[in-house]
Chains A and B, each alone.
Chain A
Amino acid sequence: MKSTKKLKPIAAIVGAGRTKFGELWYKNPEELLTEAGIKAMESVDYGLRRKDIQACYFGSFLYQVTNKLALLPGYMARELGMNIPMSNTEAACGSGGSALYNACHGIRAGVYDVVLVGGFEKMTDRSEKILDDLMFAGDSHEFDAGYTFAGLYASMMARYIHDYGDADGGVKCREALAFVTCKNHHHAIGNKYAQFRRDFTVDDVLNSPLVADPIRMLHCSPVSDGAVALVVVSPEVARKYTDTPIYVVGSQQATDDVSISSRESLTGIKATRLATEQVLKRTNMTMRDIQIAEVHDCFTIEETFFLEDSGFCKKGEGWKIIHDSYESFKGSKSKHIPYVNGDKEMVVNPGGGLKADGHPVGATGVRQVYECFKQLRTEAGENQVDKEGLNVALSHNIGGTGGIATVHILMKE
């Protein structure tokens, strides 16, 4: 089994808090972030006082647009009653993961020992224009071609089905891409914070309203409000706060052209491939070592891409892995449905992913790590992955259609 003893952790997480995700009509974005931050601080086993926090790293994509406010540090200094360095990272849907990445490297550089990382988004305050706003994370020529985000992923999905789908019109491939929805919604049933906690069938997915052919509504993650926060500390001081810190042993980021049209391929995310390659290399691991993964499933095709881009399976075989894994699950009473490829087995999106837990975009990257933290500490309650020796988790957060990808590997011991 892999152990942190052979690795030099970058940082450690000692506390985590979040709000429920969904339509949170009665809270301002700064209030959501404060709620998550306070929860994270209060969750620290041996206590943490506000004065212990040396800096805050926030991640948000659209708050200037959705809520007509700026200078987040000023708002959060007021809300948290602190006057420490604060910054906001904007990397579209990858904002949260990028904020954590920056925090890890702030700690690694020796500048800070204790920081608060928060991700948030308040999308429903501008529901009627959110489709347009989200396209800030696309190339302006994509917007002018009439694209929506679902449309961009639909173009990638269509090409994937065309290039790699089964000969019979890609019927099984399309089923597999619906299975991702079914699996992630099934995983969210035990997640009390999730936006949607109900099962869906393949027929439900394939008969849901068309959004951008071939993408239907149930292939998409929702529009959500929410915030998540983590207390991130240097490994050297972690035990001061808890006996069960979760270590960040790998933190990598890669970028690519903002536009899908200028990329090498429409059927994969290069930034994911590069970031995953680097993080696995840094930790001397392979995908065989990853037991759970919180993967960026903004659309179900994206989860499929991750299986291939990360090396969990070969290019073009992701949908087959999904299909086989889901088929073999049928009739089982298991809470979680792992993907299996030979000797590799990995539970993807145990918390329900973006698809079911919700996708308040700036919060997502932090929420993924929150879920890994809870799972590795066996604190996921009803949603706990039932696996002996759970020790290694991966989070994968991307921005836009893959203009940025951040991958973290977390370990218990």
Chain B
Amino acid sequence: MSEPITRRRILIDYRIRAAKCLGCGRVYFPPKSFCNIEGRKSRMREVDHFYEQGTLLSGNVIRGPTKKFAYLKSFLSGIIHFQNDNLKVPGRITDYVPPPEEIDVTEFIGKAVVPRFRKIYTDGASGLIYYSSLNFSFEDDYYPFQEYKPVKSASSSSPSSKRGDKGKPGIVGYGVYLPKFRIKNAPPGALGVLERTLPFADEDTTTFAVEAGKRALIHSAIDGARVKKCFIGSESAPYAVNPSMSTVSQVLELGEKYEGGFFSGGVDAQFACKAATDLFIDAAALVAYPTFGGEYVMVIGADNSQAAAGDPLDYTVGAGGTAFIFGNRKEEVIATLDCYVPYTSDTPDFYRRDGEKYPQHGGRFTGIPAYYKHVGTAMRAALKLCGLAPGDIQYVANHAPNAKFPYQVAKEEGFSREQIEPGLVVKYIGNLYSGSCPTALAAVLDIAKPGDKILMTSYGSGAGSDAYLFTVTDEIERRREKLIPVKEQIENPHRQYVDYSTYRRWKESS
């Protein structure tokens, strides 16, 4: 596909956009300007099916794919039926690996499926990467269907008080995306990492970011049109130049819509594993800043964490992402951001040169002079700034390159196992790099009670740490039903384990 064709397809494929005749109700995909039945009388309206559930009308297992799909080897493709609009579209079933022997496809007919934003293929190593939401996973598989019921955007003429009083900025919603597939560390080791998430062959950091952002919107029930800024922190963005953020904004329709684009902005950020957390304070500051003119900011930390085969990192890296939405409406904030301490030094413990595929690191130098020094310093400074002692904090959520470092640093700062353990999800998902600390924070928020204080401290090689203190509000309880908790994802009975060669193959294709 050329670049112009790609842009036209994006407008349709990212949201499964169709045209609906307001007269007779017929729906056309791809969209068209008139109804075959109503003709010149047609009045057509755009409809999209991004948040809907469909069923498999029929399908087949592709055993000999086209060149573009050779990377998937074999997979299930089908015709998907969205009952609400009686719309049928072609789609690929993702996260499903067919067995080598024939399967009776007729048994899949009628199964419920949910759209997933995934990569479809690429134009070689240097061409465009194509994404679409016309990929589906079975609803009774790993990912449940979640209904999205956003509170509609208030008109600009509405008095501010009707949309709720402003208060201290903080988190209004979050979403965690952990892929279905896992690899076990056998024998268990790698500094306490027992198993790790990995991307399916059609996933990458951008798809993680979209799925995490989608879940954050569902959790917060915020209309994407009201999110005016989106930051993505990652060190494995699929493009060196071309932001993941614009893809996320296009898919999730962040900002007020205008001629195929959106009145919103944002940026992809890079600071090793703290690229996302560094921007929490910016997000909180923006929503409180009148000139910003927006209500919400989304910050996503996502990575398909990179490691060369055989490197010690290859036994700790995971994949996934977490999105937070920041706002300052009192009745929406679930955790206020109360304290922020950044600490930075030029410490080259882990790096990746431009054009290189995998990072290099300083081995044991990444420990005491790098991770421990920065995380410990930021934690101490935050406690001091807030006038708090470790005993005043209910949970800590630290960046976790493995299960040992975050535990040991917190212990050294005076925290107990009970305060540390809930955020230590690295044991089951691996190191999500930029997504690591945000996911640990999400895991803690999943169980935190109103009034609880959470000390989150990130770490990014190169090097720096951000310590944040959050206080949980009463609002958190009201929003729990729209969550897919981290623990639930970790323990999902449909998670699927793969061997090392599959892990490497899928990780390489992402």
Interface set of A (CB-CB < 8 Å, partner B):
129, 131-132, 135, 139-148, 150-151, 154-159, 161-162, 165, 169-170, 209-215, 259-262, 266
Give chain B nearest CB distance to A210 CB in angstroms.
Answer: 5
Distance A84 CA – B144 CA, assembled complex (angstroms): 65
For the complex, is B319 an interface residue (Cβ under 8 Å from A)? no
5 further interface pairs, Cβ-Cβ under 8 Å (given A132-B67, A214-B60): A131-B65, A151-B62, A156-B58, A262-B28, A262-B88
Distance A41 CA – B509 CA, assembled complex (angstroms): 55
Residues of B within 8 A of A213 (CB): 60-61, 63, 98, 102-103, 105
Residues of B within 8 A of A169 (CB): 104
Q: Which residue of A129, A148, A155 is within 8 Å of B58 (Cβ)?
A: A155
Interface members, chain B 63-97 (any A CB < 8 Å): 63-69, 72, 75, 77-80, 88-92
Q: Which residue of B28, B65, B102, B109 is within 8 Å of A148 (Cβ)?
A: B65
Residue contact B30 to A141, C-beta cutoff 8 Å: yes
Residues of B within 8 A of A159 (CB): 57-58, 106, 109
Q: Which residue of B65, B80, B89, B98 is within 8 Å of A146 (Cβ)?
A: B65
Residue contact B106 to A146, C-beta cutoff 8 Å: no
Q: Which residue of A139, A146, A157, A161 is within 8 Å of B77 (Cβ)?
A: A146
Residue contact B105 to A158, C-beta cutoff 8 Å: yes
Total interface residues in chain B, CB < 8 Å: 41
For the complex, is B253 an interface residue (Cβ under 8 Å from A)? no
Q: Which residue of B77, B89, B91, B109 is within 8 Å of A162 (Cβ)?
A: B109
Interface set of B (CB-CB < 8 Å, partner A):
9, 13, 28-30, 57-69, 72, 75, 77-80, 88-92, 98, 102-106, 109, 120-121, 130, 132, 134
Residues of A within 8 A of B67 (CB): 129, 131-132
Distance A312 CA – B47 CA, assembled complex (angstroms): 41
Q: Which residue of B65, B90, B121 is within 8 Å of A142 (Cβ)?
A: B90
Give chain B nearest CB distance to A17 CB in angstroms.
Answer: 34
Residues of A within 8 A of B130 (CB): 144
Residues of B within 8 A of A146 (CB): 62, 65-66, 69, 72, 75, 77, 92, 120
18 inter-chain pairs at a CB distance below 8 angstroms, sorted by A residue, are: A141-B30, A141-B89, A144-B13, A144-B120, A144-B130, A145-B91, A146-B72, A147-B62, A148-B62, A148-B65, A155-B79, A159-B58, A162-B58, A210-B61, A214-B104, A259-B90, A261-B79, A266-B79
Residues of B within 8 A of A259 (CB): 90
Residues of B within 8 A of A148 (CB): 62, 64-66
Question: Which label, helix, strand, loop or mixed, suits the secondary structure of the A interface?
Answer: helix
Residue contact A260 to B66, C-beta cutoff 8 Å: no
Distance A155 CA – B80 CA, assembled complex (angstroms): 11
Q: Which residue of B28, B30, B60, B72 is within 8 Å of A154 (Cβ)?
A: B60
Residues of A within 8 A of B59 (CB): 155, 158
Give chain B nearest CB distance to A299 CB in angstroms.
Answer: 11
Give chain B nearest CB distance to A236 CB in angstroms.
Answer: 41
Give chain B nearest CB distance to A213 CB in angstroms.
Answer: 4
Distance A41 CA – B121 CA, assembled complex (angstroms): 48
Residues of B within 8 A of A155 (CB): 58-60, 77-79, 105
Residues of B within 8 A of A170 (CB): 106
Residue of A nearest to B30 (CB): A141
Given A144-B134, A148-B66, A261 and B61 contact (CB-CB distance below 8 Å): no
Residue of A nearest to B202 (CB): A146
Which of B69, B103, B121 gathers the greatest number of chain A CB atoms within 10 Å?
A: B69
Residues of A within 8 A of B30 (CB): 141
